[in-house]
Structures are given as structure tokens and as C-alpha cells.
Structure 1
């Protein structure tokens, strides 16, 4: 048996680790019998030399098995589904998709994360709802799943403990963008949910981890391969992440937009992602015959109100007071009587006449992050009220002086430099034929 330094040297020199050697490494990480510097050295060796497909598969399996693996009643077999996004600006898909899938008969044990850097986190959005508790035990998750069909929770202490260690060190060692480590982190957590089917929303573009379609597709193909290797039917959608998803960015604002979507008033781009991802999962579980039928079924669940009822039930089961949940889901809601509203709002005006050609989602998110909407390190608090509403859409004709963005902020006020950066988010042109492009560029289906 090779020692930990020998394993590091073997990978550093380009060798392939055996299944047993990978197991030894992950066991050492889990049991904390390895020095932190050795773990960091192994991560860097993997980043530099990569891993063969077999190594990545074994790494993921061992990470998944490092803690508790969920089990479900036999009658739920084939219906356990989840989705994962590689991160985006205004990405509130989970808040609409989870209850929509539950309304279609699926079981959705959605384990989500918090925002880091410029990307928002599903858990932070939900915690802007007074009383919403993302910390649920295994028994509580089972009960919520039984009564509602979906829950959105944080990772429990017992679930994939090896990932918690490696994830923190990847950030500290600049190895975040290693394909094998990304695959291991994402798929191990989903594998521990004992899913029947998983769909991955892999983003590419200006505001995504991967800027071009080809590199995002490489990640998507690896994730699909590793997920299927663990016995989950795994598919992926490649979607553009240049602007924002929907019109709202920021935790409370995104909850409001999600609720409006569940009331049938959702923006087209958000609904495109929800119906595409949900439709694919319905196909993979055999609930529907094809993606067209799946998209239609998800759309009906949202527009018809069944998904909204599931979302209300989920809120109540996860700690939100009955009256609060009912008020948020009523037809005529004063959202700010429940959700925190920022102390200040400021509207930015279009600098000239023209047609909206582009909205730079990355710059918008970076400024909001600095104003308190996000965190720079794990554990920091976020200000749920900070955010922005886009008052225009791509292809829209605007006149000089017309408000195009409403900024929600608290003290300290944005600096002149930040306001200038926000003004430069908007690109105007003269092309009157600019059409909103479809976000979904490609779909990778699992093998039959």
C-alpha cells in the first residue's frame, strides 16, 4: 500500500491511481488522518495532470460513499429526481421547477447550495422568506417528501463529508476549475440522494464558469457519463448565461419573481428553462413519452396553479407560518409586507434612444455582490433585500431618459464608479429586429 506522499507523487508524475488508492485518499480525507497540506497537494496534482474516466468515476463513488446515502420507500422507485445548475445570474429555476415536478408526481429531494462569488444561491433566496428552514434531518426530509413531494434543503453533516473538505480546499488552492473535481463534487452529492434521474443545467457564456459552448459541453459530457456510471439516468442541458435569467437579481426579488412565475406570470426565458429541464426529467422517469409532452405537462403544472400549491405546502412544512405562506401565494400579495424591502431604490435612465442589444449579467451581479447581495467567503451574511430589477428586455425600443433598471440597496450607497459600471451594463443599438435568443442550445440525453 502506497503512503499518502507516494500517492501524491504518483499523480503528480502523471500516473493513474488505482481504485484502492483513490479509496485510501478519500478515507483519509473523511477521517481527517491526512494533513491539510497533503490534501491540497493532491488536489493540485489532479488539477495539473487530470484523471482518466475510470479514476473520476471511482473518485465520485468514494466521495458519495464517504457518508450517509439516502434511502426511500420502494413505491417511490423510478420517481426520485433532481436538477443541478453550474451557476448563473438570476437563476431561480429551482424554486419553480421543484414544485412543478412534484405536481407531476415526481419526488424531488433537492439539496442546494449557497451563493459564492457573483452567482446566487438557492438557499439564500429561500432564507429571505421569514421562517424558511433549510436545515432538515433525514427523517424530516422523508416526511416532507411523503406529504408534499418536494423539499429544498442544505447538505446535511452526514451527507458526502469528503466533499465538504475538498470543496473548501479547492477554493483555497485555485483548483476549482478541475473537471474531475467538479464532477466528483456535483455527482457525489446527487448520488447520495439515491436518485432515479438527474438533469444538469450546464451554463456557458460571459457570466458562467465556462465562457464557450465547447468547454461547457466537455464538462456536461463528463457529468452525464459519471452520473450514469453511478446508476442514475443523467442528462444535461447546455444553456446560455450572458444576461440575467428573468428580470430580477437578488434574493428577495428573485423569490418575488419565482412566486409570480408560479402564479402564471413568469418571464419567457425562465419558463423555457423550467419546462426544458422538467420535461427532460419526466422523459427520463418514463412519466411522459417525449420532451414535447414533458414540457407541456410542466407548463400546465405552473400555469394551472398546481405547482404554486406545492410550493406553499413546502414552505409550511419547512417552517414558514401558515398565514405567511398563504399570503405569499395569494393572487394579490403585498410582498413587502412579508419580505424585506431595501431602504433605498434608485432608477437608472437610458442614456440615449435605441434598441436594447445586450445586458451584461456578470457586471450587474458583481456590483450587487459588492453592495451586499452576495458573499466573498463561506459563512458571511448576505443582505436579502439588495438587488436589481430590469425594466427593459432584449429587443425593446427605449427612449432617452426612460428608466431601464431599478436598483435596491442599503447603506452605504453605491459609489459613482459602481453607478457607472451599472450604466455600462446596458448596450443600445439601432437594430430594430433584435430578437430574444433561446437560452437552451443543446440537450445531452442519457443512453437508453
Structure 2
């Protein structure tokens, strides 16, 4: 069969057949598909067929890179050049208790690397960065472009909601993928994530690819493949990109929720907090500083640690909250993250916690009111979980291992059931797992396990 050549009229049915047969698209063909789908000239049934062909046949690195940039160009592209310095963005593929954005952005900005962060809201078991920030009274999470730029120039960091017209092709395609069984395709996941990152305009990108029970990627090999694909996309499109593969087979830190997680962010930024959250935050921040031109990676680790210990990163976080209209005085008040109703969770038996189903822990917080089942659900910002014992810890039957909290007392029973069912307690301790499994750059993949 002869397919379209440069200058020929293209037909979507021929392009579907081409991909179905495992052949690679040209950039012109991909542009034809995406542009015409966004315009409404290609119907959903043909786009669905093409997505399924991609699902089964895959894409080359070049195809995926071209597709991603075309998706980025389908809407608004942010030009961050008026902001001096190397702008470094960070993206997490989503997890439970993952509040690192606020910690690392504060550290990095305090070191002189500007962070212009556009984030999303949560849906289902994973929390949203914007929801967590919005738990601070009066904070503005819908900054206009001028205000966003001014805050980044003045403070060094700002966090705002994503533009409604950022990569509209991705929004349309994701909605279709969601109902056609084509979500879990590496090229389609990678292009979805990276199209928004490219459109957001940063000079360099750090990717935090989660793996485990609370992540979309369940195996290390799949997570590495996704990371390598996204790093290749960034490299092909002129953005220095690094990816870390991090553990999400247990929640990160001790808090799950919105105000609860902000309270834990403050604890870390003031020199305390759980060891796992501190370690992962330092590792992520050091990689952002490396991308921001602050020296060799080892030097960036030292710089990040020193900045956190000095208190300058907490001052930077307070400065950002104030600049975005928030009441920063509440951050050090215990009542900020306290809900009306609280319940202790007791260990059902003696032993060691050998596994925490992180997704199930997230769904326990969701049942308490900390998340959304649908996009229109209202949040209880103070609902959440404080975990006192985690994977590897010894527990005694009847010992308090967590506290649940909510503004609605009737949610506590379901939250408790879900949380207890998320834990596996056995007689012998588990093998200790690292927090970071691998680091991926354009030069290759370094595995630590």
C-alpha cells in the first residue's frame, strides 16, 4: 500500500492503517492528525482507532518527540524569557503524600534558581499540588500571567494552576484515551506529560517518576521505560531533562491530605520532619540545582542540605505564600491542620508492617474528604491521615499507628477500615528498600537496585 508523500493530500484512514501496520509517521503526518483533531475535522471514532493502533504498535523516539511538540504547539506556549536565569520545572507522575514540590521549590529558589511552577488539582487517590496550596487561607492559585511573572522575578518562585489553554490537544486526547482503553501506553503517557511541560516554557525539566502500589507505573522496568521516553522527548526538543525513579510503594512522609501535608512541609522547612521526605526532597532539589547550573551534582547536594538547615528555604516559602495573597501566619499555628473530629487507628496485631498499599492509603484519605471522586466534589481541606508507623516499623497489638481526621465524623469509620486494610503486618521485618531506584539522563540510565 502506498501512503501519503510530501505534498499529497492526507487521509486519516490511510494514517490509521499506516500505524496499524507498525510504520512510523512523519512529522507532517502527526501534525495533520493533531491539528485536524483539535479543529474537529477528525471525528472521535477515527482518533480512537489511531490511538489504539499506537497502543499496540508503539512509536519511535523521534515520533514521540515530534508528537509531543505538536501537542504543545496546539495551544498557548508560555515564554519565560523575561525572567532572568535558568528556569527549572519539576513534574511528578503522582503519588500519595507527595508534597515535595513546596519543599524543593523553596530550597531551589532560595539558592537563586527561579521556579515558575504550574500545577494541577487532584482526582482520585493522588493529591493535587494546587489543592494543598489552596488549604492556606486566601492564597491565590489562579495568578494571571503578569502577576505570575512578577512574583517569580521578585521572590524566585510561584505556584499557580495550569492555563486553560495549555496543550489543548492533550486534554482532548486524554479524555478519549480514558474511555477507549488506551491510557497505559508509554508514548501516549510521555507525550501527555511532556507536552504540558514544553508548553510551560522552562529551560530544564526534572521528572519524578513514581513506581509502586500508589503510582501509575507498578514495575521498575515500566517506570524506567517511561522515564527514558520522557527524557528523550526533552532532549530532542532542546530541554535538558533528568528523571528520577522514586518509591511509591508506601506513602511519602507521615501526612496525607491537604492542610496536613502543608503542615508537614513547614515542619521539614523548619528543620524537622520525617527522614524519608527530607532525603527525597534533598535529592530532587539537588537535581534541580544541577539543572539550574549550580555546579556538580555532589556540590548541589551539599548546597541543598545547607540551605534547608539554614532556614532560608522556610523564609522563601513564607515569602511566596505572602506574595500570592496567602495568610502565612497560620503556617506555624497547630490549629491550621487540625480537624473537628479525630480518631486513633490501632494495630490489629503484633508484628512488623511489611507493606503499605499506598493507593489504598490514598483512598482512605479520599473517604475522609481529603480528595475528589469527581471533578466537582468539594474538598475538606483539614481531612487527612497522620501516620505514626510505616513500612519496616514494629507494632504492638492495640498500639496507635495513625490518626485520622475529618470535618465530618461519619467518614471516620470508612477511613479506618480502608487504612487498616491497606497494611500488611507479618512476623518478620521486610527487606529495606531505597527511596530512589534510578536516575535517567540523556547519557543513559543509572540503576541503584
TM-score over 0.5 for the alignment?
A: yes
Answer yes or no: is 1:368 the counterpart of 2:365: yes
TM-score w.r.t. structure 2 length?
0.90
Secondary structure, in 3 states, of the residue corresponding to 1:135?
Answer: coil
Give 1:344's aligned residue.
341
CA contact (8 A) 1:349 1:404 kept: yes
* Alpha-carbon distance, 1:249 to partner: 0.6
CA contact (8 A) 1:394 1:435 kept: no
CA contact (8 A) 1:275 1:294 kept: no
Partner of residue 3 from structure 1, selected from 7, 11, 15:
11
Give 1:422's aligned residue.
419
Give 1:172's aligned residue.
179
CA contact (8 A) 1:65 1:192 kept: yes
Secondary structure, in 3 states, of the residue corresponding to 2:163?
Answer: coil
What is the total number of aligned residue pairs between the two structures? 436
* Alpha-carbon distance, 1:348 to partner: 1.2
Partner of residue 44 from structure 1, selected from 52, 57, 67:
52
- Greater Cα offset, 49-58 or 412-421: 412-421
The one-character-per-residue Cα deviations of 1:300-354 (angstroms, maximum 9, x if unpaired) are 222211111111121122221xxx21342xxxx3242x45x43321101122333
Partner of residue 34 from structure 2, selected from 11, 20, 26:
26
Answer yes or no: is 1:442 the counterpart of 2:441: no
* Alpha-carbon distance, 1:183 to partner: 1.1
Give 1:334's aligned residue.
333
Q: 1:344 to 1:415 in 2, by over 3 A?
A: closer
Question: How well do the aligned residues superpose, as a CA RMSD in angstroms?
Answer: 2.2
* Alpha-carbon distance, 1:125 to partner: 0.9
CA contact (8 A) 2:88 2:291 kept: no
The one-character-per-residue Cα deviations of 1:190-227 (angstroms, maximum 9, x if unpaired) are 11222222111111112111111111111111111111
* Alpha-carbon distance, 1:357 to partner: 3.0
TM-score w.r.t. structure 1 length?
0.91
The unaligned stretches of length 5 or more in structure 1 are: none
Give 1:247's aligned residue.
254
Partner of residue 105 from structure 2, selected from 95, 98, 110:
98
- Greater Cα offset, 356-365 or 5-14: 5-14
Give 1:307's aligned residue.
313
The one-character-per-residue Cα deviations of 1:268-326 (angstroms, maximum 9, x if unpaired) are 1111211111111222332122x222122112222211111111121122221xxx213
* Alpha-carbon distance, 1:129 to partner: 1.3
The separation in 2 between residues aligned to 1:417 and 1:98, in whole angstroms, is 35
Q: Within 5 Å, which residues of 2 pair with 1:191-340?
A: 191-289=198-296, 291-320=297-326, 324-328=327-331, 333-336=332-335, 338=336
The separation in 2 between residues aligned to 1:145 and 1:416, in whole angstroms, is 44
CA contact (8 A) 1:204 1:240 kept: yes
The separation in 2 between residues aligned to 1:146 and 1:265, in whole angstroms, is 29
Q: 1:183 to 1:431 in 2, by over 3 A?
A: same
Give 1:60's aligned residue.
68
Answer yes or no: is 1:359 the counterpart of 2:356: yes
Secondary structure, in 3 states, of the residue corresponding to 1:413?
Answer: helix
Secondary structure, in 3 states, of the residue corresponding to 1:438?
Answer: coil
Q: 1:221 to 1:439 in 2, by over 3 A?
A: same
Secondary structure, in 3 states, of the residue corresponding to 1:441?
Answer: strand
Q: 1:33 to 1:319 in 2, by over 3 A?
A: farther
